[in-house]
C-alpha cells in the first residue's frame, strides 16, 4: 500500500521562534534572494529545513504545493506559510512583509532614478557572476526536495509527464491539477475508495485561472491603481512572464497609463533585483504616482497572497489526515518539483553562457555539497567578484 509522504514523515521540529528572529531572517532572505521563485524556494529550503530546522522537509513540500495552486507569487506565499506555521497570524504578517520589504525599497529607489534620468542602472557584471551560483543553489534544493518527495515510481512518472507538459507550454495550473488528480486516482482506484470528494480541491483550483474582466479606461487615481493590482494579484499564476501579460493587458492596452517600453523596463527591474518578481508593481506604482503610488501598488498585488495563505494554511493538516486527499497533495508536490526543474533548465541556459560561468556553477555546487558553505556567502562573493572582475 502506498502511503502519502506526509503520513509517515517525521513531525515538524518544535523550535521556538521569536518575531524578531523571524523578521531578521526574512529581511536577510529578501535582500539576497536573486534568481526568481525557484531560487527563493531553494534558499528557504536550505535556511529553514536544513540549517535552522524550523520546519520538516515534508511540511515544507506541503506548503510549496499549496502555494503553487493559489494565485499570487508562489515563493512569497511559501514565506508567508512558514511565518504562519511558526507564529500564527503575527508570523504570517512579519514573514511576508519582511521578505517583500527589501526589494520594494530597492525597486522604489531604482524607480526614482528612472523617473529622473529616464534609464536604469546597469548591473550586468554582477548578475553574470550571481546567476550561475543561483543555478547551483536551485540544483541542490531540487535534489534534496526530490529525494524526499518522489518515493514511488508513480510519483516519478507523474513528475516526468508534468515536466514534458510544461515544456509543451501547457498551463502550469492545469499541469498541477492533473498531477494531483493522477496520483489521487492511483490510490483511489483501490477497492472501497472513492475519488470524487477528495479531488474536488484541485479541480476547483482550476477555476481560479480564469482572468478577471478587464477594466475600462479611466483617469489615473490611487484607488484605481490599488484595485487594478488587487485584481492582478488575485488571478495571476506562474512566473514574472505571466505577470507581464496581465500587466500589459491592464496598464498598456486598457488603462493606457504605461507605454510598452515603461512596462518592459518595470519587468526588467523585477527580474534583476532580489526578492519577489512581483515588486514590478512597486516600480509601476512609483512611475505613475510617486511614493504613494508605489505603496498602493505593492499592497494591492501582495494582499491576495496574505489572505489566501491565512485561509488555506489551517486546511493543510486536515488534508493530510485523509490518505486520499494527502495523495492528491503528493501529486501536486511532484508536479511542482517538475515545474521547478523545467524553470531551472531554462534559467541555466541563460545563466551558463561560457566556460567562466560554468566554472562558477561547478565550484558553487562543490562548495554547497562538499563543504556546506552558506548560500548567502556564495551569492555575496559572486556579487563582489562580478563587480571587480569583468568577464
Given a cut of 50, the residues of the chain with pLDDT beneath it are 1-14, 191-215
Only one residue has cell 498598456, namely: 252
User: Cα-flanking dihedrals φ and ψ of residue 313, to 5°?
Assistant: -55, -50
CA distance 78 to 76: 5
Cell numbers for 76: 512569497
Domain ranges across the chain: 14-151+350-388
The helix/strand/coil state of 266 is helix
- Residues 82 and 48 sit within 8 Å (Cβ to Cβ): yes
DSSP 8-state code for residue 208: G
Return the pLDDT at 296: 96
End-to-end CA distance of the chain: 55
How is residue 212 annotated by DSSP? P
Asked if 59 and 49 touch (Cβ cutoff 8 Å), the reply is no
Cell of 327: 495523495
Note whether 355 and 7 are within 8 A (CB): no
Kindly state the DSSP code that residue 391 receives in the 8-state scheme.
Answer: -
pTM of the model: 0.68
User: What are the CA-CA distances from residue 264 to residues 118, 244, 245, 255, 271 (Å)?
Assistant: 13, 8, 11, 16, 11
Q: What's the pLDDT score for residue 122?
A: 58
- DSSP category for residue 279: G
> For 194-214, how does the pLDDT look when each residue is reduced to its tens digit (9 = 90+)?
444 444 444 444 444 444 444
Amino acid at each position: 500500500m502506498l502511503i502519502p509522504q506526509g503520513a509517515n514523515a517525521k513531525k515538524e521540529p518544535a523550535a521556538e521562534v521569536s518575531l524578531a528572529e523571524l523578521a531578521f531572517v526574512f529581511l536577510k532572505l529578501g535582500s539576497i534572494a536573486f534568481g526568481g521563485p525557484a531560487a527563493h524556494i531553494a534558499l528557504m529550503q536550505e535556511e529553514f529545513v536544513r540549517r535552522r530546522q524550523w520546519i520538516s522537509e515534508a511540511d515544507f513540500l506541503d506548503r510549496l504545493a499549496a502555494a503553487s495552486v493559489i494565485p499570487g507569487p508562489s515563493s512569497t506565499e511559501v514565506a508567508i506559510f512558514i511565518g504562519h506555521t511558526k507564529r500564527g497570524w503575527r508570523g504570517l504578517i512579519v514573514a511576508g512583509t519582511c521578505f517583500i520589504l527589501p526589494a520594494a525599497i530597492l525597486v522604489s529607489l531604482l524607480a526614482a532614478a528612472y523617473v529622473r534620468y529616464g534609464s536604469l542602472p546597469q548591473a550586468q557584471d554582477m548578475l553574470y557572476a550571481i546567476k550561475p551560483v543561483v543555478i547551483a543553489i536551485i540544483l541542490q534544493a531540487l535534489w534534496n526536495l526530490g529525494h524526499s518527495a518522489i518515493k514511488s515510481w508513480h510519483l516519478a512518472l507523474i513528475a516526468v509527464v508534468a515536466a514534458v507538459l510544461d515544456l509543451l507550454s501547457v498551463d502550469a495550473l492545469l499541469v498541477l491539477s492533473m498531477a494531483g488528480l493522477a496520483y489521487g486516482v492511483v490510490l483511489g482506484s483501490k477497492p472501497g475508495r472513492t475519488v470524487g470528494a477528495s479531488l474536488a480541491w484541485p479541480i476547483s483550483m482550476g477555476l481560479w485561472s480564469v482572468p478577471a474582466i478587464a477594466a475600462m479606461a479611466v483617469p489615473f487615481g490611487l484607488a484605481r491603481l490599488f484595485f487594478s493590482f488587487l485584481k492582478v494579484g488575485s488571478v495571476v499564476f506562474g512566473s514574472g512572464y505571466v505577470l507581464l501579460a496581465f500587466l500589459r493587458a491592464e496598464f498598456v492596452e486598457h488603462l493606457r497609463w504605461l507605454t510598452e517600453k515603461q512596462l518592459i523596463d518595470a519587468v526588467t527591474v523585477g527580474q534583476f533585483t532580489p526578492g519577489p518578481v512581483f515588486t514590478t508593481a512597486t516600480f509601476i506604482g512609483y512611475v505613475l504616482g510617486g511614493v504613494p503610488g508605489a505603496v498602493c501598488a505593492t499592497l494591492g498585488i501582495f494582499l491576495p497572497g496574505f489572505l489566501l495563505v491565512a485561509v488555506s494554511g489551517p486546511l493543510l493538516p486536515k488534508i493530510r489526515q485523509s490518505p486520499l486527499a494527502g495523495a492528491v497533495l503528493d501529486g501536486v508536490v511532484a508536479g511542482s518539483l517538475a515545474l521547478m526543474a523545467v524553470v531551472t533548465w531554462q534559467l541555466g541556459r541563460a545563466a551558463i553562457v561560457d566556460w567562466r560561468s560554468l566554472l562558477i556553477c561547478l565550484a558553487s555546487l562543490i562548495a554547497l555539497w562538499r563543504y556546506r558553505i552558506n548560500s548567502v556567502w556564495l551569492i555575496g562573493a559572486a556579487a563582489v567578484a562580478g563587480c571587480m572582475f569583468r568577464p
